[in-house]
Structure 1
Amino acid sequence: MSPAVAVPRPVNRLRGLLESGGTAIGLACHTGDPHVAETLAMAGFDYLYLDQQHSVGALASPVEVLRAAARTGTTPLVRVAANDPVLIGRALDAGAEGVIVPTVESADDARRAVAATHYAPMGTRSWGPTRSAFGLGSDPAAVNDQVLCLVMIETAEGVARAQEIAAIPGVHGVYVGPGDLAVSLGLSPTDGPRDERHRTAVKVICAACDTAGIAAGITGDPRTEAARGFRMVTVGSDIAFLKAGLAEARARRDAFRTTDDKGVATT
């Protein structure tokens, strides 16, 4: 009789990296296009989050995008459209290994996000691993040990309660929404993050995460953001890369139009 072969338990690489004190660098997908998501996931970053809050696609179901990102070594996340147990459960059942939950402003908000992310006894997530079994598996206890619940603080009210939000068991990180936070503080969403009030708010969030022993996340340059205390940094997105590529193409076009067909500059 052949000896039983131990089946390795699924591992959430991103959660392991964050809980070991490392810094994760990732990307965002706003288009919801499976091929674009696959291309991003194959680039070798630590995580890729599909944005259902501000995306132009994949709002109804992220299955095809998550399927495209599967088995690439990049941890798939979904930023759900709202702190809603149905949306969170559907994202996880589709194969996300974690969720980013927007507009968390209190400990109760955080508890709701945690409950929706975890199976009993930690939470209230309904068990139905039709596709999620291919990722973190189907055992509730094992999934609870690996799934990620990241909550977003992006309002002045959330900043005021950052300490209590970060301290909720089952919250594995706080992701800062810099644009919405700026608007909440009465600042411009584009220029506001450079304002001292915004910087002070960010310090409060990072300090709360540090005290709770969880990661703070944001979009930006990892060199700058790591120095501010962030250990999860989204460095770019499909839309941002597309805009950058278009800007470069326009520059080449404009340079060409200033020369004649012999390469001589025209004025």
Structure 2
Amino acid sequence: MSTAPSPRRDPVSFAARLRGRDPLVGYWIALDNPAATERIAGLGYDYIGVDGQHGVLHQPGWQAAMLAVDARGRSAGVIRVPSPDPVAIGIALDTGARGVIVPMVESAEQARTAVRACRHHPAGTRSLGGPVRAELRLGSVPAEIDDRVACIVMIETAAALDDLEAICATEGIDAVYVGPADLSAALGARWFGDPAAADALAAALERITDAARRHGIACGIHVMDGESAAKRLAQGFTFATVSSDITHLQQAAAAHLAAARCLDAA
């Protein structure tokens, strides 16, 4: 396996690359650990997604996470906010995030609300942040800031599937993003990975990638490993987020424990 570093990319170009449907690979951060986030941000992922919805990293930690990502100058920092609430979206973007992932969007109306929260007047309702991190990273001209910020909405419920075409057609949406666990549950799965819902999930994913392609927007998904990311990119997704820091921490610790006990038993 090659150990050559991946090409260095300007994080400011993230929104443009996303809109261009370039293949992007990201990593998920759930832990409130800026030192660990800083290390991961130097590996060469295109973006680092920070979980402000389900992780243990809440609003006071968003700023530190974005500082940690920016310290390496390689990845774009993106925050998943807790809900489509415009206040939360504005707070996330004021940390200097290059984009937001908005969960539980179930209609074109909610998608429009998310878009407007990401854009300044006259395109939206975002308040100009002034001399905080967003200005340091993205400038002070509202239209230029808007051009450098991505609005990504999640497709993870039955209602979202019902309104999929209208959501994808929403002006200003840069991407849709699949939450496979919640989407599986919406399709009847009793747990994530339930084979009873496998066919329905596969059909839904094909619908989503097709709709995104027709409307010229990016389409992403969360996956459990790099091999799955490559598979999803080959299937028509344009970006994929790999696992999470908390998952990999547990997996690594468990593997070392198993190896130690195996040697001890021998």
Q: TM-score, normalised by structure 1?
A: 0.89
Identify the match of residue 238 of structure 2 among 210, 224, 231. Answer: 231
Aligned residue in 2 for 1:216? 219
Query: After superposition, where does 1:1-267 map in structure 2 within 5 Å?
Result: 12-71=12-71, 72-129=73-130, 130-192=132-194, 195-220=198-223, 221-259=228-266
Give the distance between the partners of 1:179 and 1:189, measured in 2 at CA: 8
Task: For residues 88-113 of structure 1, give each alpha carbon's deviation from its aligned partner in whole angstroms, at most 9, with x where no partner exists.
Answer: 00000011110000011110010000
Name stretches of at least 5 consecutive residues in structure 1 with no aligned partner.
Answer: 1-9, 260-267
Checking the alignment, whether the CA contact within 8 Å between 1:28 and 1:236 is kept in structure 2 is: yes
The total of aligned residue pairs comes to: 250
Structure with greater helix share of residues: 2
Q: Which runs of 4+ in 1 moved over 4 A?
A: none
Q: What letter is aligned with 2:236?
A: G
Give the distance between the partners of 1:134 and 1:58, measured in 2 at CA: 22
Q: CA shift at 1:202, angstroms?
A: 1.2
Checking the alignment, whether the CA contact within 8 Å between 1:117 and 1:147 is kept in structure 2 is: yes
Give the distance between the partners of 1:32 and 1:188, measured in 2 at CA: 30
Give the superposed CA RMSD. Answer: 1.6
Checking the alignment, whether the CA contact within 8 Å between 2:84 and 2:103 is kept in structure 1 is: yes
Give the distance between the partners of 1:117 and 1:192, measured in 2 at CA: 36
Give the distance between the partners of 1:68 and 1:162, measured in 2 at CA: 35
Give the distance between the partners of 1:170 and 1:147, measured in 2 at CA: 11
Give the distance between the partners of 2:109 and 2:67, measured in 1 at CA: 33
> What SS class does the counterpart of residue 182 from structure 2 fall into?
helix
Q: CA shift at 1:29, angstroms?
A: 0.5
Name stretches of at least 5 consecutive residues in structure 2 with no aligned partner.
Answer: 1-9
Checking the alignment, whether the CA contact within 8 Å between 1:103 and 1:155 is kept in structure 2 is: yes
Q: CA shift at 1:189, angstroms?
A: 3.5
Give the distance between the partners of 1:22 and 1:204, measured in 2 at CA: 20
> What SS class does the counterpart of residue 92 from structure 2 fall into?
helix
Give the distance between the partners of 1:224 and 1:52, measured in 2 at CA: 27
Task: For residues 24-62 of structure 1, give each alpha carbon's deviation from its aligned partner in whole angstroms, at most 9, with x where no partner exists.
Answer: 001010002111211111111100011000111233451
Structure number with greater Rg is 1
Checking the alignment, whether the CA contact within 8 Å between 1:32 and 1:50 is kept in structure 2 is: no
> What SS class does the counterpart of residue 119 from structure 1 fall into?
coil
Q: What letter is aligned with 2:74?
A: G
Checking the alignment, whether the CA contact within 8 Å between 1:180 and 1:189 is kept in structure 2 is: no
